[in-house]
Structure 1
């Protein structure tokens, strides 16, 4: 492949869904910015600390679906008045995998209509 290196294994889809990051000391409520089969980015107003190699539990939920995920941080940056966190994620079990894929693929696509 020519050009720049592709870091993502799948396309990100813009989505605003509820997500809870289960940290060591407390849970953090946030909103997804975008999601894919293998990762998600979220936006939160107050930053929290996660070590580089630390695995965290995340729960993504919609009106119809709820998925439990395990993820590791890819990057963090300040974005406007809040913070954007990107995670590489994997579902915890088969049920969560099915639920998460429904969450991802039920989103409106970003292709031109």
Structure 2
């Protein structure tokens, strides 16, 4: 995977364009995977957690869905913390570190 680009619901991985289920807020190439954070908007189900951080392979196939630090229904990922650490900011006020091979939560720090 060499190039990643996105606009609205469309994700481009190298020369392959895919239409996603939700609008994309941010995406990065990490460990040869497209790590995508979907935008929280009116189309998102409100009665359960929004599993909005997902990894895709070169073909656009889903590899994993990231774990959340809580089990509350209002939980979702907001954004990458910065361009270097690949930590994620969570709506429930957690700084989260994921295992980008599996999507499992390695560490979470409550900040509120």
- TM-score, length basis structure 2: 0.28
By relative contact order (CA 8 Å, sep 6+), the higher-ranking structure is 1
- TM-score, length basis structure 1: 0.28
Give the number of the structure whose residues are more often helix, by fraction: 1
Higher-Rg structure is: 1
